[in-house]
A and B are shown apart, each in its own frame.
Chain A
Amino acid sequence: MTPHTYRLIGLLVGLGLLTLGIAGCGDDDSTTSGDTGIAVVDPFVPEPPADLGAAYMVIKNSGGEDDRLLKAASDVAGAVELHQTTMQNGSMSMARVETMEIPARGEFKLEQGGYHIMLIDLKRALKQGDQVTLTLTFERAGEIKLTAPVVGSTGVEPMSSGTGRASSSAHH
């Protein structure tokens, strides 16, 4: 075999190992979009006390390029918006955000008291045990469809830090 062939075999073996390795640590309840590297982990919707609610999740990006969540849609809501809760001088406020940036080899958290997907004008009451179908549209990864369970509102522990977070492990 020529050195060129060695290199080719080595490259193939290396890529095979990478694929196995990345597949090996995936969470059971993640929703992954093909080979784009975007995966949604632990989505949930606390049982809404009124005709509006929020969806939370962690969006992981194992790819080498930043991605961006552009919009979300769901058939249970009249409107779905991307929102962020912020705290200023002790006052909480909420604002619509255009996009959420998912860093390359990192993740973005939608968590209570931070970034969330707001489900507006719910068409029916969501009860614990229901499943909410969400379609997220990313700039690079395109559409990802996922199912978020509705959980009891007293059964959810807060994770709030007051702000949403994006973190990256790209430079380790």
Chain B
Amino acid sequence: MNEYVAVRAVRGLRSWGLRLFVLCSAVTAVALLTAACGGNDQAKEAAAGDRTAVKIADAQRRPSFVLTDTTGRRFDFRAETAGYLTLLYFGYTNCPDVCPIHFGNIAGGLDQIPESLRGRVKVIFVGVDPPRDSPERIRQWLDHFDTTFIGLTGTDEELMRAQVAAGIPPAVREAADENGRYAVSHAGWVLGYTAGDEQTWQFPLGVRQQSWAETLETLVKIGRTDS
């Protein structure tokens, strides 16, 4: 189409001189160059639009549910996590996009907070796709990010109860395609409960590592008298 623009310019100019036409061509070239390169700046600006964690107006007590951890042990969520800043996420290990982003950034954020505070945070991943989220697979998936992260799963009924208790839209397995593959729609945010359930937070997709680090370092001190 550049040729088309130039040809139209030639027709429009008719008998105008060579110098004028060269000038026009140069202006066109500069304009197009600016437009093409300007697109880069726009892209960077748009890509930088990150999200921040949201504090829920009315703090909720952390939910009570029992699932099975990756060692096969029954795990009472409320009892096992009380007293810790707790992050709770419902996802699935065949999730290529959203779940690894969250966990990569949680792990990256936790790496930035002081070691003395790191031990007061528990991170829980609940696999909501039991046909594929075996305890072994969840363990392998989590170890990729942090070997201290806790993985849970259960029966569909147990998982439904846990999600309802946590107040999130329950995950749904989508219809399988011709290859038997399916996606699972699931809540997009990570829930955060301070040690004594003083505050409840939601971390949407798009929270940057630096923001995770800053927020977690603040939240981990809430409800603790020894910090």
Residues in chain A within 8 A of chain B (CB atoms): 1, 3, 6-7, 9-11, 13-15, 17-18, 20-22, 24-25, 27, 46-50, 52-54, 58, 60, 62-65, 79, 83, 85, 87-96, 104-107, 109, 111-113, 116, 118-120, 153-162, 165, 167, 169, 172
Contact = CB atoms under 8 A, between A and B. Distances in A.
Contacts of A48: 96, 100
B108 A154 contact: yes
B111 A112 contact: no
A120 B35 CA distance: 37
Per DSSP, are chain B's interface residues mostly helix, strand or loop, or mixed? helix
B113 to A, nearest CB: 14
B189 interface: yes
B187 A90 contact: yes
Interface in B135-160: 137, 140-142, 144-145
B56 interface: no
Interface string B78-110: 000000000000000111111011011101100
Given A6-B21, A158-B101, A165 B187 contact: no
Contacts of B174: 93, 95
B30 to A, nearest CB: 7
B203 to A, nearest CB: 11
Contacts of B28: 14, 17-18
A107 B35 CA distance: 12
A13 B22 contact: yes
Given A21-B32, A64-B4, A85-B97, A49 B141 contact: yes
Contact of B39 (A60, A79, A93): A60
B29 A20 contact: yes
A29 to B, nearest CB: 13
Contacts of B104: 46, 153-154, 156
A22 B32 contact: yes
B15 A92 contact: no
Nearest to B169: A91
Contacts of B15: 3
Contacts of A11: 6-7, 10, 21, 25
- Ranked nearest first, the 5 interchain pairs of A and B with the lowest CB-CB distance are A64-B1, A14-B25, A93-B185, A10-B21, A49-B144
A88 B30 CA distance: 43
Contacts, number: 215
Interface string B185-214: 111110000000000000001111100000
Nearest to A112: B101
B17 interface: yes
A8 to B, nearest CB: 8
A54 B29 contact: no
A92 B187 contact: yes
Given A113-B97, A161-B206, A153 B144 contact: yes
Nearest to B140: A50
Contact of B1 (A58, A65, A155): A65
B188 A87 contact: yes
B3 interface: yes
B186 A158 contact: no
Nearest to B33: A21
B179 interface: yes
B73 interface: no
B206 A14 contact: no
B169 A90 contact: yes
Contact of B206 (A1, A60, A154, A158): A158
A157 B26 CA distance: 39
A87 to B, nearest CB: 5
